[in-house]
Amino acid sequence: MASDRVNCLLPEADGTLWVGTADAGLCRMKDGRFATIGEKQGMASNAICHIADDGSGYLWVSTHRGILRFSKDDLNSCADGRTHDVAGRVYGRDDGLPTLEFSGGLKAAGCKTTDGRLWFACSKGLVSVNPARVQPNLNPPPVLLESLQVDSQTFDNGGGALNSIKLAPNHLRLEFKFTALSFAAPSRVRFKYRLLGLDKNWGDSGNRRSAFYSQLAPGKYRFQCIASNGYGVWSANCAEMAFTVLPFYWQTWWFLSLSGLFAFLVVAWVIRYDTRRKLRSRFARLEQERAIERERARIARDIHDDIGASLTRITLLSQSASGESGQPTEVASILREIFGTAREVTESLDEIVWAINPRHDTLESLICYMAKYAQDFLSAAHVRCRLELPVKVPEWSLSTHARHNLFLAFKEVINNAVKHSGASEVRLSLKIEADAFVLAIADNGRGIPVASTPDDAADPGNGLSNLQHRLAQIGGRCEVATDAEVGTTVLFVIDSLRLANDGSRPRVRSLEPMP
């Protein structure tokens, strides 16, 4: 229910219960559900004192604003949601009531006698109603538009002058005045209006005989108005007028067309200029990259074919010389040193060739090369190598500068793990995130002493500050976690977009997968 303040009840044979509240209007309970009909739906008052059924399909309701008469079909239609309001007859002082305020809330404030009369209690005695003598007025009042006032200018409806008005675009306020001819009960005439071109539904003005609008947009409009008598009978024909609101010059079709054409030409010129500028810049960048890649490929080929072959021959000759018998101890030592140096030069040369070769500018190539290097290096040092790598590595593009610094940092961590930690196992793992990856190198050695931290300038031999510097150059960071019992874990956290930069500006190809 809309309110707990109940003044009266009226049950019906089909189980419907009408409830009169003191402040929410008339409620209907049917099939276990409540529906409320109040002033918003057409009730003259929300204070219901008594409800009576005349047996002819009408309910008579006493309120604080007179006696109301409604058709039960209209009430049920509104309560079921089929209509938004109800139209009823309001009886007041003009109909012979001594007062408009009726009593209710304690005992029954009314009754129906055997002769069909309805009795209602009010502050000035009893009011008797004979429903059989009620003769409703079925003639709706004719509606007339009197005038239209635009700001300070008034247009009277003389000779149909309100059908061809053109209003200036700078108007502020419009007031439509209308009336209806009803000599029986002029105070009970109600009006509804709408402005076609702006309003979708009828607006209820009640007894007010004017409607207001302000600052209408340019266009054609039609104002319509209807009226009803005291019995809720609405006029079938409406009074209407058509008028036009003129546009400003910047709202005219020719101005909008020229403005649209000008804007289109400007946008087209800007797009053409920007497109050509981007194409020229892209062609220049692509040509520069192609030239650099061709030069890198040539350098890689020359180093591999000339210097690589020579160093390999030195390695083979040194190994053969060290294996000959009968050589003095000093010569054998020198030959072994030559062999080791040549092998290191060969490995360094292989790293250089790999770094400058444009075919390896991918994350997958970098990870594969690091894994192979770790396996070979740790195997030679008799340290177990464990790899935890994803099955599929994203096809991210890397710059030569980024690959070179990341590999040198990785190489230094592996070398430190073998040289200083005394570990028996090194674990290499890679974690791929949305726009970054984390490379972890963990050993089970003795850990790093507390004094040997990246901030300890007194002990630069640990190389940790060098790792921080290398990772910072490529937009990453290095994190070190060490424990004397667990070992040391070094994390390289790299942003994939920053990794594809050459240190000065982003590369276009880093935003797309490699072909």
Which residue blocks in 1-51 are alpha helix, DSSP H? none
* Choices 3.30.565.10, 3.40.50.2300, 3.40.50.800, 3.90.1150.10: CATH for 361-515: 3.30.565.10
> Domain 143-248 is in which class?
mainly beta
User: pLDDT category, 508, cuts 50, 70, 90?
Assistant: very low
What's the mean pLDDT in 292-319?
A: 67
Report whether pLDDT(82) > 60: yes
Count other C-beta atoms under 10 Å from residue 25's C-beta.
25
Q: Of 181, 221, 186, 228, which Cα lies nearest the Cα of 204?
A: 228
Report whether pLDDT(90) > 90: no
Tens digit of pLDDT for each residue in 129-139?
998 888 777 78
Report whether pLDDT(296) > 50: yes
Tens digit of pLDDT for each residue in 358-417?
677 788 888 888 898 889 888 888 899 999 988 888 888 777 777 778 888 888 899 888
Report whether pLDDT(494) > 50: yes
Mean pLDDT of the chain: 81
Domain spanning 6-133: CATH superfamily: YVTN repeat-like/Quinoprotein amine dehydrogenase (2.130.10.10)
pLDDT at position 304: 66
What CA–CA distance (Å, rounded) separates 116 from 330? 142
User: Which of residues 97 and 94 earns the better pLDDT score?
Assistant: 97
User: Which of residues 185 and 128 earns the better pLDDT score?
Assistant: 128
What's the mean pLDDT in 255-276?
A: 93
Report whether pLDDT(97) > 50: yes
Report whether pLDDT(452) > 90: no
- Secondary structure (3-state) at 65: coil
- Secondary structure (3-state) at 332: helix
Report whether pLDDT(306) > 80: no
Host H or E run for residue 478:
strand 476-483
User: pLDDT category, 509, cuts 50, 70, 90?
Assistant: very low
**In this structure, are residues 439 and 401 in contact, taking their beta carbons and an 8 Å threshold?**
no
